[in-house]
Structure 1
Amino acid sequence: MTQTYKKKLIEVAIPLEAINAASAREKSIRHGHPSTLHLWWARRPLAACRAVLFAQLVDDPSAYAGELLKDETLRAQAEAELPERLKAWEKSKSSAHGAAANAPEPTLEDVVVGLERDRLFDIIKDLVKWENSTNEEVLEKARAEIRKSCARGLDGRIPDGALDKVELPPVYDPFSGGGSIPLEAQRLGLAAYGSDLNPVAVMIGKAMIEIPPKFKDQPPIHPGIKERSFYRNAEGLAEDVKYYGEWMREKAWERIGHLYPQVDLPKEYGGGKATVIAWIWARTVASPDPAFGGVHVPLVNSFVLSSKKGSQAIIVPAIDKEKKTVTFAIESGAIPKDQMVQASTGTKAGKAQDFVCILSGTPIQREYIREEGKAGRLGARLMAVIAEGNRKRVYVSPADEQENSALEAKTYPEVAEARETFLSGATPTRAEITGGVCSAYGLTTWGSLFTDRQLVSLLTFSDLVLEVRNKIEEDAASAGLQRNTHKLRDGGVGTFAYAEAVSMYLGFAISRLADRGSAVCGWDSGYTKIRNTFSRQGIPMSWDYAEGNPFSSSTGNWISCCEWIWKVVAALVPGASGVVEQQNAQSAARSEPVIISTDPPYYDNIAYSILSDFFYGWIRKALRDIEPSLFGVIATPKSDELVAIASRHGGREGAERFFIEGMTSAVSRMATLSLDGFPATIYYAFKQSEIADEGISSTGWATFLQAVVEAGYAVVGTWPLRTEMANRMIASGTNALANSVVLVCRKKEATADTITRAEFIRTLKRELPPAIAELQAANIAPADMPQSAIGPGMGVFSRYKAVLEADDRAMTVKTALQLINAELDEYLGGIQGEFDADTRFAITWFEQNGIGKGEYGVADNLARARGISVDSVKHAGIVESAAGKVRLLKRDELDPDWAPEGDSHLTVWECLQHLVRLHEKEGLSHDAAALLKRFGPQAEAVKDLAYCLYDIAANKRREASEATVYNALIADWSELCQLAATVSLEDRNRQTRMAF
């Protein structure tokens, strides 16, 4: 068959461990990271996007193996390595398990391709490091490889002069969201296009992709002292954002500074005045006890202000039942543990999370609070004031002056006007989002999420965003920038456009201020700072909330809001042109074919439009005239948003139908726009509970893949990306997004055949085992194997026009996924037959009993079926047999002086358990690597056994802790092998030194 395309690296292999490690680490990078420009939910890590795009564009070395063999240096290196490869292959054939035993004999071409692949891997490993995000040397290496691949013909050759005139293809993300993919495409020197239905996402994309190239290498225009003599990339733009943000703070202080008075410090803190960091308020409700009818009592989750050892601080309520009053005092210093525990319970009442009346002890049920909240009868009391001290927090009891300053904001007419106009939209309900809602307690509009003083502050800064634009324009003209009125949206780069650009970033600072400045922001007593509104993908109720001071120097102040933004702008590397537009992915239009890389919304996990309405009103107020077409409506578009929200579509069935039809249409559009010769990459996130409860055939997964297949794509690969930090607020045990899978897709051949179910299963049995063996050889962690196996499995399914069931109906993706999973189970089970008899006994015993005891008679039957006896397994050091019971020995019961070389009854089971014991204790250590080295040809069998035992522990026995140790070992396997090679050399050197 005529070759019509070159295979890309991502279709064959990628350095997954390095990408995953960099992606997970990136979540802890804050200052300067583009994700801090503006909040967006479930962004893909830049490291992953950068690596995937590179591997998607660069040819796999197998596409130009013939040319590689012409390189004398590379050929000589390969010829030197081939004998070792052949020796290793011969050795592994006798001990390999499953499909690995049929691995073909390595050739010189294989070695050359492997060496070249390793070189490309090294480029990726450098490319994904955060520190190299702006490293031009590293970036240029990657760009050079992309140019070579784009110039290379189907014959593997790069024609003379082709590199000088090569045209790089554009990249398009039709679900651009937070902008990670277009940003990384631009960083790699490619024209970047993005689109999204959500105007907030479009503005984020424009701020990252469109604006910086317009003002690349331009010095700042502000009249103050410049911070440097030379400006590159967007550093000058960033400095102007910083300067005019400070100007806005000064103007805001002149107007509303009196609403934020300093606090009088107690004598123990030296007296005097101090700037307030935060006011801690408690929501209140009328006591349901008739004896205290009408008296409002506080609803408090916790009275703890600081849990830091040695500097604890708590609120101590003083109750006067006769006067029916509650006042609040502060106790700080070294507080006894039992008092801290009591304070941490606030006024809650047990696990039900109801409250108690602090005056009478009467239960206050949630339903009662909801009714009072919906009737607008919840109140608020100031409980504490937190101020800036001498390098530490100062906790002060509330005073009338502090409470009155907040109440003064009620007199501002613009507060009521804002609540009645652009903040009148409805907050989400339980039917719309899963991350918690406050609407059930009466906070039913966006305006109700803010106190009066918070609204005055936000409105003042919003007005100043409009005012600062005129100042920037005048200063830009004075600095020599061309004076004209061409708008930013029309391609302008003169004074007017530059003023719009700087003010756009300052408008984003309003969003940051709102996120840290709402009445649902809690106080974090561990870090002693204000939590943001969106600490999770929802807006849950905060009973005791923290109101920040935009003029302080602590979390949530205006200058820090600007700082987060200008640091992002300063770190951007504007490359090729970029455009982000508002479009529906189902009807997206492009004038030229593009490379598709995209991260579509996950089935039903995040209602982006609903959550982003929190910011939309503020951005619309500040930036509407910069992009009027984006802000022509009062809320973000929802009816066409591709999310399966049951309440929008008449139930779950309607939501699923809407999602699959819409996603099929969107992916079909992608296939139409796709540039021939390049695969498409589609990121897809899934829920932890789906894999645990339903496997890879879960509703969300299957629905999405069904859309991909029906759209005309064939799935040619899947790569599981571990991108989330383990310590995020919604962690394991919930439906938190834990992983992404990158699907690699090619357009399905027009001549694709239709086959039967039986033919599909036969093909699956033939092609899946060697593919799984390759994944194991690449050390794909056992936890990731089900997702990874989707690639080759769906590659079989999706290459056909249809797979017909016995009744001639087309097989669904859900059924195909179940069959793929069954084949994976059969493969892992089949490996067991390759192990020694004692190990096979131990596997079965572990599956049936774990490490618990079982009857000797049952054990005897199992052993006899494997041609051995229980005594044989006991002699091997695997089990204990006594008093008619048999049990597997625990790892800590194994002989610590055991050595594989001296064991006359060596088993794979023992080898693995000793290695796991060391790895659990020491991680990637010299001793663990040395032990692995001593296993010799048994090493691969040990790895195979780890896969088997992970599968049993995780999926059959549901023993997460036991599964984790095997998964962790495989995850470290590659590094452990590399360390083992080093250990061998060190040992020889040590022996030589000892001989001397």
Structure 2
Amino acid sequence: MTQAYKKKLIEVAIPLEAINAASAREKSIRHGHPSTLHLWWARRPLAACRAVLFAQLVDDPSSHPDQFPTDETVEVERKRLFQIIEELVKWENSTNEEVLERARAEIRRSCGGELPPVYDPFSGGGSIPLEAQRLGLPAYGSDLNPVAVMIGKAMIEIPPKFKDMEPIHPGIKDRSFYRNAEGLAEDVKYYGEWMREKAWERIGHLYPDAETPEAYGGGRAPVIGWIWSRTVPSPDPAFSDVQVPIASSFLLSLKSGRTAWLEPVVDRQTKSISFKIRVGGSKADLESAKSGTKEARGANFRCIISGSAITPKYVKECARSGKMGRTLLAVVVSAKSGRAFAEATSQHEHIADSVRPNWEPGTKLPNHSQYIGVLGYGYETFGDLFTDRQLVALNTFADLLEEVRSEIRQSDDYASAVVTYLALAISRLADSCNAHCRWAADKIQLKNMFGRQAIPMTWDYFEANPFSGTAGDFLVSATTVSKAVDRWVGGGSGKIVNIDAQSVTYSSDMVISSDPPYYDNIPYADLSDFFYGWLRRMLREIYPSIFGTMAVPKMDELVADRMRHSGTSNAEQFFLSGMTAAVSRMARSSSEAFPATIYYAFKQSEIAQEGVSSTGWATFLQAIIDAGYSVVGTWPMRTEMANRMRAAGSNALANSVVLVCRKKEEMAETITRAEFTRALKRELPPAIAELQAASIAPADMPQSAIGPGMGVFSRYATVLEADDSPMSVKTALQLINSQLDEYLNDLHGEFDAETRFTATWFQQNGFDKGVYGTANSIATARGISVESVKHAGIIESSAGKVRILKRDELDPDWDPETDDHFTIWEACQHLIRALENDGEYAAAELLKKIGSERAETVKDLAYYLYDVCGNKRQDAKEATSYNGLIAVWTDLTRLAATIRVTDKNRQTRMDI
């Protein structure tokens, strides 16, 4: 059958390691990163989204045999496109118009001069529409969650309306020329400063300075924040009228040379408890302070005044009956020498308790103990998560938004835009201005509540001063939002709407790229209510349709939540049918000229327990296939920071996978399990060989091989089991993985005899000693002797025992050009040693000497040994070394190509 479309780059090959390295590095970027506009959970890295969109739209050179008639010319052109992607994904190039325009030109060339619109029906944090817009594409997105929609509008919809406009504030302008959204960003910053000044006039008295101890220079200093502990009545009847702290730590600072901790001072006679600031101290002092009054995991404490046990049951009973209180432990101040600590005073406690808010979020906390850790401790609404002083501060800033609107003597649209960003600044401030933030003694700074995707119960907490100039300050939040707006890059138009993915209407020219919910990962709607209450209070008049409901919609959220759907089975069925319906709309209506790309994120527990055939992954794939898509590719994406040499992780599966999908042929046939297995055996090996040629890391191979394997499975209408029942996706995944194992085992036969012996011995014994007789049998079966392997310099044989030499025991002066008994095993181990001990250039020099033909076999051995370590020996540490070698293989071969051999002992670098 004639192919009706041109294959795109993403259907064939992408520079995966460069994309993953850029995605991991992006996590360390803070200032100006679009994600700092407002918190959203599990965003896709912008680098990955940008690269995927480019590769999804640009033709693979094999689609143009008239221009690239040979494999060699195809490969040269593919490498050129890879270089564009490698430049495109770098963070510093995300605002580089020259680099971006080069990418846009390639997209236009493959799309007949017209840039197609991109749609993400699960737009979430907005990464995909933002990157589509950056590439010059009309960007559309939608989400059921109003908080996500608001973030998306602020990221891609509002900035183009005021492109290249000068700021309108009456103050001194920062610059003489404004491009993109720089003017809008400056106005957000200016009016944020204006709001802070007005708020200080109204509530500044609630945030007094504190007296600094002599150890820190003495005198009064501005307060950064207050460290509080929750309290309960002592369980000892003799002290039942005393509120005792239930604190998880008394540490204040672990910074070298600046250690500080709290020493409790207990007077049983007067029934009083106070805390002294101690500076310095021994290791024993710090160790003692580390656990506060905590005795074990959970709500287990000891009474500081009586020594009695405080049990979780007792803590909950006190909390529910209103007997849980709080006490001030210490005050963090900004002293001349830096951050310092002052002792608690009754004045500071009294001021904190002297105010009452006029409004607080009234939405009920969800009954979801897995993610809402405060349940059972007397918390009923989201408003209960804040102290009264925090609520007064947040309300004061929120009330000032209407005054900002009247201050901006410009169009209503522009005033609404500035107010929107300032409202987002207040909303994101709530994450650092609540009674569940922690004080991080190791970094001497605040830790926001949403350090993970949950609302934790905290026993001691940090209350930030919103006028401190540090984290938890409103102006810091507003400035962060301003910087995110300032970095917006003008490109295509953008629009985000509030709609369920099952109701989206697509036009026939739309390209689909989406990051849907992941089975049972996180109920984002439940967590989003934390922000929704504040955003609704501030923005309902501007966006009435978005904030029309009292809380974030939940029952239609496409996650397999057993709490909402009365059990695991119902939740799985809800997810499968809903996702199938949503993806069916994509498959029916979107463009046939381009593949769709759909992201799937693995939970770490899911990876550890079930690997590539996990229930969530299989259910997700089933929905994709039932919707009418054929999966033609899978690319593992990594987002965790890692050592450069081991950039693909140790031996774990990737964090997420991008599925590349095409519409299934209408006349797809039905085949049997036997026919499917034969097709896999025929088609999977060459596909895996291509993945190896592209240096896909061994850790990523199981997920990468799913693509061509599912390509076989999903192109058929049905694969029938022996009893004529349809084969499940989970079974297909297991068969694909089995074929991958078979392929990797077959590599064994391509190695020299000594390497085949050593690989077999390694599988059985690792680097431990084994019996000579067994070794002799293995060697004889390969037509060699144990002595031959010993002569090659890779084993030790003595006293009836044999063992493989470890890398650090091999000849340090080994030279592949002069070795008269060269083995692939030895070459592989020496390469890893050079890489781990001396770095990439040293490894590239050695690779140059090994030669390109033998190098490919070395790479095959690394894949094989990784499989042995991971699947047969469970040796994660050794697996990491083989994975690390392949992870940088492309870089090593490029570097080796720049090295010119001048004689047997000297090499020089060529400039190319």
TM-score for both structures, normalised by structure 1? 0.88
Query: What is the one-letter code of the residue matched to 1:136?
Result: E
Which residue pairs with 1:950 in the alignment? 866
Question: Superposition pairs for residues 68-83 of structure 1, below 5 Å?
Answer: 68=67
1:285 aligns with 2:232: yes
1:22 offset after TM fit, Å?
A: 1.1
What whole-Å deviation, never above 9, does each CA across 1:915-938 have from its counterpart, x for those lacking one? 222222123132553255335532
1:191 offset after TM fit, Å?
A: 0.9
Query: What is the one-letter code of the residue matched to 2:286?
Result: M
Which residue pairs with 2:55 in the alignment? 55
1:312 offset after TM fit, Å?
A: 1.1
1:232 aligns with 2:197: no
Contact 1:249 1:559 in 2 (8 A): yes
Identify if the C-alpha distance between structure 1 residues 352 and 503 changes in structure 2 by more than 3 Å, giving closer, same or farther: closer
1:805 offset after TM fit, Å?
A: 0.9
Contact 1:915 1:932 in 2 (8 A): no
Query: What is the one-letter code of the residue matched to 2:74?
Result: V
Query: What is the one-letter code of the residue matched to 1:437?
Result: G
1:381 aligns with 2:327: yes
Q: How many angstroms apart in 1 are the aligned matches of 2:906 and 2:773?
A: 51
Identify if the C-alpha distance between structure 1 residues 673 and 992 changes in structure 2 by more than 3 Å, giving closer, same or farther: closer
- Greater mean alpha carbon deviation, residues 350-359 or residues 260-269: 350-359
| Structure 2: unaligned runs, 5 residues or longer | none
Q: How many angstroms apart in 1 are the aligned matches of 2:555 and 2:496?
A: 21
Q: How many angstroms apart in 2 are the aligned matches of 1:370 and 1:737?
A: 40
Q: How many angstroms apart in 2 are the aligned matches of 1:931 and 1:264?
A: 65
Q: How many angstroms apart in 1 are the aligned matches of 2:335 and 2:584?
A: 60
1:632 aligns with 2:541: no
Which residue pairs with 1:12 in the alignment? 12
1:191 aligns with 2:138: yes
Which residue pairs with 1:467 in the alignment? 403
1:371 aligns with 2:332: no
Q: 1:121 aligns with which of 82, 103, 113?
A: 82
Which residue pairs with 1:138 in the alignment? 99
Contact 1:427 1:446 in 2 (8 A): no
Q: How many angstroms apart in 1 are the aligned matches of 2:96 and 2:852?
A: 42
1:46 aligns with 2:28: no
Query: What is the one-letter code of the residue matched to 2:536?
Result: R
Which residue pairs with 1:93 in the alignment? none
SS in 2 for 1:408: coil
Contact 2:695 2:889 in 1 (8 A): yes
Identify if the C-alpha distance between structure 1 residues 375 and 353 changes in structure 2 by more than 3 Å, giving closer, same or farther: closer
Question: Superposition pairs for residues 626-775 of structure 1, below 5 Å?
Answer: 626-725=542-641, 739-775=655-691
Q: 2:72 aligns with which of 111, 116, 127?
A: 111
Identify if the C-alpha distance between structure 1 residues 941 and 663 changes in structure 2 by more than 3 Å, giving closer, same or farther: same
What whole-Å deviation, never above 9, does each CA across 1:195-218 have from its counterpart, x for those lacking one? 000000000111111111111111
1:35 aligns with 2:22: no
Q: How many angstroms apart in 1 are the aligned matches of 2:510 and 2:690?
A: 31
Which residue pairs with 2:530 in the alignment? 614
Q: How many angstroms apart in 2 are the aligned matches of 1:969 and 1:592?
A: 44
Identify if the C-alpha distance between structure 1 residues 903 and 283 changes in structure 2 by more than 3 Å, giving closer, same or farther: same
SS in 1 for 2:817: helix
RMSD, aligned α-carbons? 2.3
What whole-Å deviation, never above 9, does each CA across 1:682-712 have from its counterpart, x for those lacking one? 1111123433432211111111011111111
Q: 1:207 aligns with which of 139, 154, 165?
A: 154
Q: How many angstroms apart in 1 are the aligned matches of 2:568 and 2:303?
A: 41
Q: How many angstroms apart in 1 are the aligned matches of 2:651 and 2:690?
A: 31
Q: How many angstroms apart in 2 are the aligned matches of 1:598 and 1:14?
A: 18
Identify if the C-alpha distance between structure 1 residues 713 and 560 changes in structure 2 by more than 3 Å, giving closer, same or farther: same
Contact 2:827 2:850 in 1 (8 A): no
Query: What is the one-letter code of the residue matched to 2:282?
Result: P
Which residue pairs with 2:476 in the alignment? 560
Query: Aligned residues, how many?
Result: 906
Percent of paired sites with the same residue: 64
Q: 2:754 aligns with which of 838, 845, 856?
A: 838
Q: 2:841 aligns with which of 920, 925, 948?
A: 925
Q: How many angstroms apart in 2 are the aligned matches of 1:543 and 1:830?
A: 57
Which residue pairs with 1:398 in the alignment? 344
SS in 2 for 1:175: coil
1:845 offset after TM fit, Å?
A: 2.2
What whole-Å deviation, never above 9, does each CA across 1:37-70 have from its counterpart, x for those lacking one? 010001011111111111111111222231x36x
TM-score for both structures, normalised by structure 2? 0.96
Contact 2:651 2:883 in 1 (8 A): no
1:388 offset after TM fit, Å?
A: 0.9
Question: Superposition pairs for residues 371-520 of structure 1, below 5 Å?
Answer: 371-409=317-355, 412=356, 414=358, 417-418=359-360, 422-427=361-366, 429-431=368-370, 433=371, 437-472=373-408, 475-476=409-410, 495-520=411-436
| Structure 1: unaligned runs, 5 residues or longer | 70-107, 152-165, 477-494
SS in 2 for 1:942: helix
Identify if the C-alpha distance between structure 1 residues 649 and 37 changes in structure 2 by more than 3 Å, giving closer, same or farther: same
Q: How many angstroms apart in 2 are the aligned matches of 1:128 and 1:168?
A: 20
What whole-Å deviation, never above 9, does each CA across 1:66-101 have from its counterpart, x for those lacking one? 1x36xxxxxxxxxxxxxxxxxxxxxxxxxxxxxxxx
Which residue pairs with 1:220 in the alignment? 167
- Greater mean alpha carbon deviation, residues 566-575 or residues 363-372: 363-372
Contact 1:687 1:735 in 2 (8 A): no
Query: What is the one-letter code of the residue matched to 1:463?
Result: D
What whole-Å deviation, never above 9, does each CA across 1:478-522 have from its counterpart, x for those lacking one? xxxxxxxxxxxxxxxxx1111111000000011121000110000
Identify if the C-alpha distance between structure 1 residues 287 and 836 changes in structure 2 by more than 3 Å, giving closer, same or farther: same
Identify if the C-alpha distance between structure 1 residues 413 and 892 changes in structure 2 by more than 3 Å, giving closer, same or farther: closer
Identify if the C-alpha distance between structure 1 residues 352 and 596 changes in structure 2 by more than 3 Å, giving closer, same or farther: closer
SS in 2 for 1:201: helix
Q: How many angstroms apart in 2 are the aligned matches of 1:570 and 1:218?
A: 12
Q: 2:889 aligns with which of 973, 976, 982?
A: 973
Give the structure with the higher percent helix.
1
Identify if the C-alpha distance between structure 1 residues 43 and 991 changes in structure 2 by more than 3 Å, giving closer, same or farther: closer
SS in 2 for 1:901: coil
Query: What is the one-letter code of the residue matched to 1:347?
Result: T
- Greater mean alpha carbon deviation, residues 785-794 or residues 311-320: 311-320
1:64 aligns with 2:3: no
Identify if the C-alpha distance between structure 1 residues 744 and 986 changes in structure 2 by more than 3 Å, giving closer, same or farther: farther
Which residue pairs with 1:163 in the alignment? none
Q: How many angstroms apart in 2 are the aligned matches of 1:349 and 1:800?
A: 59
What whole-Å deviation, never above 9, does each CA across 1:786-809 have from its counterpart, x for those lacking one? 000011101111111111111111
1:248 offset after TM fit, Å?
A: 0.9
- Greater mean alpha carbon deviation, residues 939-948 or residues 354-363: 354-363
Identify if the C-alpha distance between structure 1 residues 903 and 989 changes in structure 2 by more than 3 Å, giving closer, same or farther: closer
1:323 offset after TM fit, Å?
A: 2.1
Identify if the C-alpha distance between structure 1 residues 880 and 148 changes in structure 2 by more than 3 Å, giving closer, same or farther: same
1:753 offset after TM fit, Å?
A: 1.2
